């Protein structure tokens, strides 16, 4: 037995992981050069003993005492998600809205008992999976209407309960994190292949509750399509949908809970559709002199019915950051994968389309490689490590006083050019005004036949002590542009609290009324994740 | 100008279409031989002047008078959908629950005005698209709680309003029927390619409201995935969802209305995702000595990531009926199509999988054929005519006193063998008990990686005057088996009134509560399609 690693309470990942002090110094030097500012000082991370957590306001009955913790590390670790705003507040030692208690149900009945008690006690309950929310989705800052707030951590519900090899599906507990899930599926030759950037520290239930976007750049973009059935504990009872490959019996019950962000019930189990572990893979990188030409190529590929696993377009800035270009060209990353067949005809056609739209295709690119089942992860390991390490880097940047944010959306192709121009202009103008400098870059994380999902990253030197206000102003400018130009306020990061003002305008009023009514029926005391998605109207 | 054709008021299709008297005689002879019964007499179709329609109980204000009709043909034609039960009742001249009025809104404001008036007048409103429901979804038999019932016929909202070629999408009025829709898309080189058997007489809005199953046997099986956004008039206001290729902003608003069968609002417009008209096509028919082996092959193809447009498995009986076999072998119909590329590698792999599972692949089968855009319909015209003529035949069978029904479902692969055996046994036993004879056949209309959608057809000689009771007993036996063995009560025929007893058990109680609450929020007086999906709880 090795000593158990402990999660950092204030930011991303494991204690002791992330860039070492000397790496951080080097990054600070680079930033100073990049933005022509003095070398930033690096703020010390908070220590538990520095925090002043308010005394817990609620206590469960003795029968539930073993399920809850008021340990400072637990409470601090469940105070925030993992957004830029969360990390800055943590660096400021602001933990005044820590949950009163953290509950760790071991079985489904525990969830039921905890909800019953919370309703009686007048406490809010915040379902908590991996805690990777970047939109204020797991905060305990629930206002004075509640006598307390309990973070409901589902991490002990972490098992694959049943595997159906014939249908390629499994019944899985919602609290399992990405790596443990894949580990349990591996002996069956199966995989969920859902790899959001949060993979290491996000849970199946969290993915479903937030409509997480995963590995596949086309076709199966969201977790939504992999949900075969759900089991949900609501304050008024348990809901289990029937396990079916497809149905037309009324509006889909699953779809009401997919994306419900914990306001309707606690997802405790799901039957998920799985994949065979791929053994064929073909990948290629095509460069374009202009992002717009690359977008045309991505559209052509998305509309050709080829369904690549990867079809990610990086603008020149993103390509340079990812080590996939020199900063002068856009790069389209294409990949096909299969457990069944070689992919040369698929890739050949995609590359032909890319070339037709002005892409430079490297000679010999895109040949199918045969890999042992599972070995694909090794081959793509370098990129994957960069991708998975990015959140550690983001925290380091925050500790240097940088303002950073990623925002993502989707838009139809007819409007994309004007949309991209307008969003970049709005974000760039806000960066200049608020921070004096800064960069905006974009990539497509997913593409559809009818439009792309552009993902923007902003980075700017902040003013110590004003980073949150600066962040808010940049976020506001970008979000206003997205809404005005026809996009969605989130393609896969979810709504939480941070996107509420724009979600409230994007969402039709009639749907808000229907959703509020559904919530009142399932959660009559409004105890579940208040403030997320809608304002509760408790009876 | 040719004289306008008129729809038959009592059954499928146009007046004057369907099997001619001498063809009907021949069919009657065949049936007598097939089931060893006397040659059935053919009941005369009802004539309008034979019907006794109750006097209309409600009248709209003068401002709306031009939008409504109380003409006997209109009222009779809107009394029923097109199920076996509907046709038998029509043949019996039972029209006592004809709607009081039929409204024909010309613009969206008319819909709003009609809903306002109906709420005030205490009248139920039954949204009516093409009237092709086979589940009692458009009946005006709403009970005494209402002072009347109005069938809201959307057929005048029949235009494609806007086409976005870049995103391959169009804004379309909900009342347009299949042929008129395709006609309007053709000049743009686009198609919805949604071809349910009801295609000629079903509407876009009806497809969306009932989660219609269409042309594609894999991947895009239901209309659901082609909906980009919706515009819905509810009694409390208009809901328009944002036009987006994808989103993760809360539970999908569209998915609440997709499958809502007219109980939440009237769908008046949708932005739909379209296809380029295919110009490459590869098709093949593979025979199997056993249905179960064909099912294994269909599963392998569905799980291989090939996404064929057709992957329909016919059991020996269905194959013989469709002219695709001699009644001793099952047949798997495979087809790929594309507007972008030749399909030989796709088809070659699918045929290899079929052969691996014991299929007999004809030499040279499955080569890609290049067709002029649109010519594909011509090539497959014969099969398509048979497919589209089937409902006429069904009506003719009903007029001969035959009992017939189709019921369809979906089930995961692990349970399919036992499911199929159990459902056939239950239906077969009921047929023998109730009718003394009869046949049950099955095909897969759609297949998923995690299971097939089996579609069963039953046909038996009925007892004159007792057909409805016989039908009900067979339907009950089949539905009970479907539910008990884990299937869904409907994969794409919808719930309506006929499937309510089983839908009520399939649907989780908590979802019923949420759906009922959503309905109460949008339709507080419970005027919309009462009795379908749920029982209204009006305020």
Domain boundary among B336, B369, B402: B369
Contact B299 A166 (CB under 8 A): yes
Mean pLDDT of A214-239: 96
Percent of chain A clearing pLDDT 90 (strictly above): 92
Inside any domain, residue B236:
yes
Q: Is A248's CB within 8 Å of B413's CB?
A: no
B455 plus B412 within the same structural domain: yes
**What confidence tens digit (pLDDT) does each residue in A171-223 have?**
999 999 999 999 999 999 999 999 999 999 999 999 999 999 998 999 999 99
Measured CA to CA, the distance from residue B437 to residue B37 in angstroms comes to 10
Instruction: Name the token pair of B318.
Output: 């269905």
Structural domain includes residue B263: yes
A419 is a domain residue? yes
Q: What is the C-alpha R_g of chain B? A: 23
Q: Are residues B493 and B407 in the same domain?
A: yes
Residue length of chain A: 539
Q: Model confidence at A536, in pLDDT bands (50, 70, 90)?
A: low
- Quote the pLDDT of residue B2: 52
pLDDT of residue B387: 75
My answer on whether A80 and A146 are in the same domain is: yes
Q: Are B102 and B151 within 8 A, CB to CB?
A: yes
A63 and A123 together in one domain: yes
Q: Do B246 and A411 touch (CB under 8 A)?
A: no
- Does the pLDDT of residue A453 top 60, yes or no? yes
Condensed to tens digits (0 to 9), the pLDDT of residues B95-142 reads 999 999 999 999 999 999 999 999 999 999 999 999 999 999 999 999
What pLDDT does residue A516 have? 97
pLDDT at B230: 98
Chain B hits for A511, CB-CB cut-off 8 Å, are 239, 241, 253, 256
Interface contact flag, B249 A242, Cβ < 8 Å: no
Give the tens place of pLDDT for each residue, A338-348: 999 999 999 99
Tell me what pLDDT residue B537 has: 59
CATH of the domain at A167: 3.30.465.10
Which of the four pLDDT bands, split at 50, 70 and 90, describes residue A537? Answer: low
Q: Are residues B394 and B344 in the same domain?
A: no
Q: Which residues contact A172 (CB under 8 A, 6 or more apart)?
A: A159, A160, A161, A181, A204, A269, A270, A271, A272
Does the residue B435 lie in any domain?
A: yes
**Token pair for A179:** 């790596």
Q: What is the pLDDT of residues A357-394, one digit of tens each?
A: 999 999 999 999 997 644 444 434 555 677 778 899 99
Report DSSP letters for A391-417, one per residue. Answer: HHHHHHHHHTTEEEEEEE----HHHHH
Q: Do A251 and B273 touch (CB under 8 A)?
A: no
Cβ separation of A412 and B239 shorter than 8 Å? no
pLDDT band at B450 (very low <50, low <70, confident <90, very high): very high
pLDDT digits (tens, 9 = 90+) for A156-173: 999 999 999 999 999 999
**Percent of chain B scored above 70 by pLDDT?**
96
Q: What is the CATH number of the domain that holds A135?
A: 3.30.43.10
Please state the separation of Cα A495 from the chain's center in Å: 11
Q: Which of B248, B276, B304 is the last residue of a domain?
A: B276
Mutate to test the interface with B, among A511, A515, A533, A535 (most CBs of B within 10 A): A511
pLDDT for A40 equals 93
Query: What is the structure's pLDDT at B390?
Result: 86
B96 is a domain residue: no
Backbone angles phi, psi at A170, to 5 degrees: -145, 150
Residues B397 and B476 in one domain: yes
Whether A169 and A262 map to the same domain: the answer is yes
- The H or E element containing residue A160 is strand A160-164
Residues B199 and B291 in one domain: no
What's the confidence (pLDDT) of residue A4? 75
Among A372, A392, A424, where does a domain finish? A372
Does a structural domain hold residue A395?
no
* Residue B514: predicted pLDDT: 98
> Residue B539: its pLDDT value, please?
43
Q: Please check whether residue A230 touches B, CB under 8 A.
A: no
DSSP 8-class letter at A301 = H
Q: Mark which residues 100-159 of A lie under 8 Å from B by CB.
A: none
pLDDT of residue A215: 86
In 3D, which of B304, B371, B364, B300 has the Cα closest to residue B342?
A: B371
Confidence band for B372, pLDDT divided at 50, 70 and 90 = low
A141 and A209 in a single domain? The answer is no
Determine the average pLDDT of the residues in B84-91.
97
Q: What is the mean pLDDT of residues A511-538?
A: 92
| Residue B359 pLDDT greater than 70, yes or no | yes
Instruction: State whether B431 and B363 are in the same domain.
Output: no
Task: Look at residue B379 and tell me whether its pLDDT is greater than 90.
Answer: no
Positive or negative: CA dihedral B365, B371, B376, B382: negative
Q: Could you list the residue range(s) of the whole structural domain that residue B485 is in? A: 390-505
Does the structure show a pLDDT above 90 at B493? yes
**What one-character DSSP code corresponds to residue B213?**
B
Banded model confidence at residue A267, pLDDT cuts 50, 70, 90:
very high
Position B371 scores a pLDDT of 79
A265-to-A255, A458, A521, B143, B511 alpha-carbon distances in Å: 13, 34, 11, 36, 11
> For the residues B161-174, what does the mean pLDDT come to?
98
Residue B536 has pLDDT above 70, yes or no: no
Do B264 and B288 reside in the same domain of the chain?
A: no
Is A183 domain-assigned? yes
> In Å, how far is B436's CA from the nearest CA of chain A?
32
* A177/A198 Cα distance (integer angstroms): 10
With a cut of 80, say whether residue A407 has pLDDT above it.
yes
List all residues of chain A from 163 to 222 with a beta carbon under 8 Å from chain B.
164-169, 210-213, 219, 221-222
Alpha helices in A146-252 (DSSP H): 178-185, 204-210
Flag if A509 and B239 touch (Cβ within 8 Å). yes
Of the listed ranges A69-83, A152-166, B219-233, B317-331, the one predicted with least confidence: B317-331
pLDDT mean over A402-431: 98
Asked if B408 and B486 sit in the same domain, the reply is yes
CA of B47 vs chain A CAs: smallest distance (Å): 35
Q: pLDDT at residue B478 above 90? A: yes
In this prediction, residue B74 has a pLDDT band, given cuts at 50, 70 and 90, of very high
Tens digit of each residue's pLDDT (9 = 90 or more) over A297-333: 999 999 999 999 999 999 999 998 887 778 899 999 9
The per-residue pLDDT for range A109-159, each reduced to its tens digit, is 999 999 999 999 999 999 999 999 999 999 999 999 999 999 999 999 999
How far apart CA A442 and CA A404 sit, in angstroms, is 14
In chain A, the number of structural domains is 4
The answer to whether the predicted template modeling score (pTM) of the entire model surpasses 0.80 is yes
Give the pLDDT mean for B519-523.
98
Question: Helix and strand tally (H, E) in chain B?
Answer: 17, 18
Contacts of B108 (CB under 8 A, 6+ apart): B157, B231, B233, B238, B268, B269
Is residue A323 a part of any domain in this protein?
A: yes
């Amino acid at each position: 037995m090795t000593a158990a690693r402990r999660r950092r309470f204030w930011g991303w990942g494991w204690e002791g992981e992330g860039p070492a002090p000397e790496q951080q110094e080097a990054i600070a030097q680079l930033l100073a050069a990049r933005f022509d500012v003095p070398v930033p000082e690096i703020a010390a991370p908070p220590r538990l003993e520095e925090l002043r957590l308010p005394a817990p306001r609620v206590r469960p009955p003795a029968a539930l005492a073993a399920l809850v913790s008021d340990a400072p590390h637990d409470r601090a670790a469940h105070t925030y998600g993992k957004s830029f705003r969360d990390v800055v507040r943590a660096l400021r030692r602001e933990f005044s809205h820590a949950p009163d208690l953290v509950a760790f149900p071991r079985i489904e009945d525990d969830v039921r008992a905890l909800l019953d008690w919370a309703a009686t006690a007048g406490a809010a309950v915040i379902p908590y999976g991996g805690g990777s929310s970047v939109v204020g989705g797991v905060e305990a800052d629930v206002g004075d209407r509640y006598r307390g707030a309990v973070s409901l951590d589902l991490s002990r519900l972490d098992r694959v309960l049943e595997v159906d090899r014939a249908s390629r599906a499994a019944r899985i507990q919602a609290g399992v994190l990405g790596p443990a899930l894949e580990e349990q599926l591996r002996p069956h030759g199966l995989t969920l292949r859902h790899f959001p950037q949060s993979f290491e520290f996000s849970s199946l239930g969290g993915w479903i509750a937030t409509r997480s976007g995963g590995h596949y750049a086309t076709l199966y973009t969201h977790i939504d399509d992999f949900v075969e059935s759900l089991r949900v504990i609501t304050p008024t009872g348990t809901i289990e949908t029937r396990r079916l490959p497809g149905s037309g019996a009324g509006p889909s019950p699953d779809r009401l809970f997919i994306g419900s962000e914990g306001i309707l019930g606690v997802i405790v189990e799901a039957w998920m559709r799985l994949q065979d572990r791929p053994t064929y893979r073909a990948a290629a990188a095509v460069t374009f002199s202009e992002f717009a030409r690359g977008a045309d190529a991505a559209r052509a590929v998305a509309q050709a019915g080829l369904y690549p696993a990867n079809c990610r377009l990086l603008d020149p800035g993103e390509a340079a950051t990812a080590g996939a270009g020199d900063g002068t060209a856009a790069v389209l990353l294409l990949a096909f994968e299969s457990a069944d067949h070689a992919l040369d005809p698929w890739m050949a056609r995609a590359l032909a389309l890319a070339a037709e739209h002005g892409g430079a295709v490297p000679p010999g690119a895109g040949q199918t490689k045969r890999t042992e089942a599972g070995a694909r992860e090794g081959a793509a390991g370098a990129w994957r490590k960069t991708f998975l390490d990015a959140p550690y880097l983001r925290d380091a940047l925050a500790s240097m006083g940088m303002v950073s944010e990623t925002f993502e959306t989707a838009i139809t192709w007819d409007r994309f050019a004007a949309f991209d121009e307008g969003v970049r202009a709005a974000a760039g103008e806000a960066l200049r005004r608020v921070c004096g400098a800064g960069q905006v870059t974009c990539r497509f994380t997913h593409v559809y036949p009818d439009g792309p999902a552009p993902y923007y990253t902003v980075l700017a030197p902040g003013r110590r002590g004003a980073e949150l206000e600066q962040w808010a102003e940049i976020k506001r400018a970008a979000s206003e542009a997205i809404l005005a130009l026809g996009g969605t306020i989130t393609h896969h990061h979810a709504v939480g609290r941070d996107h509420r003002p724009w979600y409230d305008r994007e969402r039709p009023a009639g749907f808000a009324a229907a959703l509020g009514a559904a919530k009142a029926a399932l959660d009559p005391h409004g105890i579940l994740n208040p403030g997320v998605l809608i304002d509760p109207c408790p009876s």
